[in-house]
Amino acid sequence: MSQHGTASQPNTLRHHAVTGPSASVLQDFYAYFGFIQLIVEEFPNPDYIKTLTGGAWSAARILKLRNEVGDVLEIIEPLDPSGLVTFGGAGNWSHLAFSVNDCDQAVKDVLAMGGQLVGGPVTNPEAPYKVAYVRDPHYNLLEIVQAL
């Protein structure tokens, strides 16, 4: 499933993500390491978030930071604090995201290798992406992202 190269190629690491109850505190912290604000995403569509996270969250605020070499760090602030523990872990690394050519096929492949479906695949209603969350055989959370 993996392929070496840049994030614009299929089946490559897309970004790292961390969960936290206050995105602004983490934004200030990671600024020390050269990450600056790229975009803030508010997800008012609770059905999309619930489907994607297997019901763990009803809504989230996502702050994306980027450094000068193009690395992206996502800080996810669930609007329901109970979702921190159920989905990504409070203050822990939340997930690794991978870009793929075919989200549906990648999910099938991950499941065949002993992974577990968390949520999706579902098309993001606000962006041209199909997304799914899966767990690897050691229960690490992965986001599978297909640009449409």
Residue 103: predicted pLDDT? 95
Domains of the chain, with CATH numbers? 12-147 (3.10.180.10)
Predicted TM-score (pTM) of the model is 0.62
Whole-number mean pLDDT of the chain?
A: 78
**How do residues 68-91 score in pLDDT, each as one tens digit?**
888 888 887 777 666 555 666 555
Kindly give, in sequence order, each residue whose CB lies less than 8 Å from that of residue 106, ignoring residues fewer than 6 positions away: 1, 11, 98, 100, 132, 144, 146
Which pLDDT tens digit goes with each residue over 9-57? 567 777 877 766 667 777 776 786 688 888 888 776 788 878 888 877 7
Q: What is the pLDDT of residue 132?
A: 96
d(CA 77, CA 99): 22
